[in-house]
Amino acid sequence: NAGVTQTPKFRVLKTGQSMTLLCAQDMNHEYMYWYRQDPGMGLRLIHYSVGEGTTAKGEVPDGYNVSRLKKQNFLLGLESAAPSQTSVYFCASSRDATNEKLFFGSGTQLSVL
């Protein structure tokens, strides 16, 4: 019962470095999401996808790119990391866009120095 798996769990970057966070789900879900969580701010949507090959911007998309080449994977990229991107990143998926709950990954703690 893997559900939603995020890798890596922790990462430290220097300003300007790039990295990719990988999210994989094994539930054949159509919708996938990337959120960031900062103290006192709740979860804010970065990008999301409504199906393979499609992506859309969320509330805070600047500085991030995403790709969904395969239905089960949703990648979040940081091309040039900034200290403001220090955060906990959560991936989530859901079967559809109505009453289906989101299944969350365990999160990635990213620090940008």
Partner 1 sequence: AQKITQTQPGMFVQEKEAVTLDCTYDTSDPSYGLFWYKQPSSGEMIFLIYQGSYDQQNATEGRYSLNFQKARKSANLVISASQLGDSAMYFCAMREHTRGSTLGRLYFGRGTQLTVWP
Interface contacts to partner 1, rule CB under 8 A: 31, 33, 35, 40-45, 48, 50, 56, 58, 88, 90, 92, 94, 97-99, 101-104, 106-107
15 φ/ψ angles, rounded to the nearest 5 degrees: -55, 130
Q: Specify the residue, 92 or 110, whose C-beta has the smaller distance to partner 1.
A: 92
Q: Which is nearer to partner 1, 6 or 85 (CB)?
A: 6
State the Cα torsion 77-82-86-88 to the nearest 10°: -10
Q: Which is nearer to partner 1, 58 or 77 (CB)?
A: 58
